[in-house]
Amino acid sequence: MSEKSLKQQAAEAALEYVTDGMKLGLGTGSTAVFFIQALGEKVANGLNVICVPTSIASHKLAKKLKIPLTTLDETSKLDLVVDGADELDLELNLIKGGGAALLREKIVAAASDHMVVIADDSKLVDPLGAFPLPVEVIPFGAAATVELMHAAIKNAGSKGAVALRLLPNGKPLITDGGHYIYDCALGSISNPKQLALNLNVIPGVVEHGLFIGLAQVAILATKDGIRKIEL
């Protein structure tokens, strides 16, 4: 079974958590696209939901599918966000941001009562860290921020290269919020909570891709069917 069809299965299984009248957060990435498409079909068939997308890309797709949209300014509390992840562990700590949408994803997750993660089972790891940790950084003084990030990483017991994410044309990727992404190739993260705290106190760091204590459910598609992790 292809990775794509596993992602689709996980995304469609998440519809079980959606009920009429819900306020939903819509994630970003290829797995979230399958969820938004499946939700769009339900909406076309009469499901009543209102949604906050976590990126310009997800906003465009949801709008095209005529999914009713709102913002966190109009609707500050959501029932549920359904989103993908780059990595997750059994405690449902996540690495996100491979699609550069981690800031809006984390804001929406924090505004949601529940977070359901959808992924193929290759994303389940122990420990986190083979996937480079994305950190969103203000362009002003970025080199100084990166120095502080190295110290924060060392203090949390990890180490590795920190690289500015570039576009294929060699220019820095700019996020929906107007910031850079630095990818931290740490190999393994022995203390995700400490690393998250250390990065959070650096002034030039807007946010990082460690999502700790935000997700309650993971729906993982395996070649043998759906596996759920529920906290």
- Beta carbon nearer to ligand 5RP, 84 or 204: 84
Please say if 16 is a catalytic residue.
no
Q: How far apart are CA 32 and CA 16, in angstroms?
A: 15
Q: Which of 105, 147, 207, 230 is an active site residue?
A: 105
Cβ atoms of 96 and 209 within 8 Å: the answer is yes
What string marks each residue from 174 to 213 as x (binds ligand 5RP by CB under 6 A) or -? ----------------------------------------
Contact status, residue 136 vs residue 104, Cβ threshold 8 Å: no
Q: For 66, what's the count of Cα atoms within 13 Å in the CB-facing half-sphere?
A: 8
Residues 24-43 that bind ligand 5RP (CB under 6 A): 27-32
Binding string, 87-126, against ligand 5RP, x = CB under 6 A?
Answer: ---------xxxxxxx--x---------------------
**102 vs 206, beta carbon nearer ligand 5RP:** 102
Q: Which is nearer to ligand 5RP, 108 or 156 (CB)?
A: 108
Using DSSP bridges, classify how beta strands 225-230 and 217-222 pair: parallel, antiparallel or unpaired. antiparallel
Q: Which residue has the tokens 């696209």?
A: 33
Euclidean distance between CA atoms 164 and 45, whole angstroms: 44
Residues carrying an active site annotation? 105
